[in-house]
Amino acid sequence: MEPPKILGARPVEPDDFEWLSTGLSGVAFFSKLGREQLAEVLPYMLHIRYAAGSVICAEGEPGDALYLIHSGSVSVTKSGRAQPLARLEEGDFFGEMALLFGEPRSATCTALENTEVFCLSAIDFARVVERTPEMTRALAELARARRNRGTE
- Binding-site ranges for ligand CMP (CB under 6 A): 57, 63, 76, 85-86, 94-98, 105-107, 109, 146, 149-150
DSSP string, 90-112: TT-EE-HHHHHHT---SSEEEES
Cβ nearer to ligand CMP, comparing 13 with 83: 83
Residue 74: beta bridge partners?
A: 88, 111
Cβ nearer to ligand CMP, comparing 7 with 142: 142
* Shortest Å distance, C-beta 24 to ligand CMP: 16
* Shortest Å distance, C-beta 80 to ligand CMP: 13
Angle between helices 133-151 and 122-131 (to 10 degrees): 120
* Shortest Å distance, C-beta 13 to ligand CMP: 25
* Shortest Å distance, C-beta 14 to ligand CMP: 28
Cβ nearer to ligand CMP, comparing 10 with 149: 149
Q: Which segments within the chain are labelled E, that is strand?
A: 6-11, 46-50, 55-57, 65-71, 73-77, 86-89, 93-94, 108-111, 115-121
